[in-house]
A = this chain, B = another copy of it.
């Protein structure tokens, strides 16, 4: 971590009574920031707003968040900035103060340096044994209850694979551990519906927006994954990463994945 602001003040500390710490009562965003300009800012703010609404927290003004993102990333050509919002509140007990204010934690981190290789060469994945719980009340939002992702990452580490795919308790394909997934079947793009678990990624949303006519959000089965011509994962930091294998099955890095990578690259240059 390079620099951190807590409620606008330089600090690396939050109170032990913080509800994010005690209950995971909050949400977060991870942004890619280039020369003090956060990429896909409005999309991140829209998702943060949706998360605040779902949990019943009042979102801080976007201008305040933007200033803090720019402050922590000042002087860095490329940075990853994390915004954490936790529900304000003291005292022991689950009962929240609804529609109250948030604690803001905004921190800058070094940008990972192997992004170009990942995008070019892709990664091999395995299906994690852990199954995501189905919880419509929390599905889609980027909340702070992430033990499933921690356990899936630990599983991946033990297996030696470089990426993990997650199914839900009913064995539908949901996502990678920290990225969304798209399947290419002929000319169509399929991506899982995220109404019951998973996070609606900002880059996923932009792909759905940019390629709407060719995209379909649906329940994705393992059969569909096996029949896919191409598979890729995406998130805001790593961009679009081809999946070259899932367990024993190999996938080519195909033309549709390369088309979307070119579209993403073009969009980034314009921003």
The chain A residues found within 8 Å of chain B, CB to CB, are 1, 4, 6, 11-25, 28, 30, 55-56, 80, 82, 84, 86-87, 90-96, 98, 105, 107, 109, 130-131, 133-135, 137-138, 143-154, 156-157, 169, 177-178, 197
Contact = CB atoms under 8 A, between A and B. Distances in A.
A15 B13 contact: yes
A153 to B, nearest CB: 4
Contact of A94 (B90, B91, B153): B153
Contacts of A151: 55, 137-138
B94 A178 contact: yes
A95 to B, nearest CB: 4
A19 B147 CA distance: 10
A146 B94 contact: yes
B12 A144 contact: no
Total copies of this chain within the assembly: 2
A102 B152 CA distance: 20
Contact of A17 (B1, B95, B135, B144): B1
Contacts of A135: 131, 133, 148, 169
A146 to B, nearest CB: 4
A56 B56 CA distance: 33
Contacts of A145: 23-24, 145-147
11 contacts: A1-B17, A1-B91, A13-B15, A22-B84, A22-B144, A24-B147, A25-B147, A55-B147, A80-B92, A94-B152, A131-B137
Contact of A21 (B21, B90, B153, B169): B21
A84 B18 CA distance: 12
A21 B25 contact: no
Nearest to A1: B17
Contact of A138 (B19, B30, B86, B147): B147
Given A1-B17, A137-B151, A23 B144 contact: yes
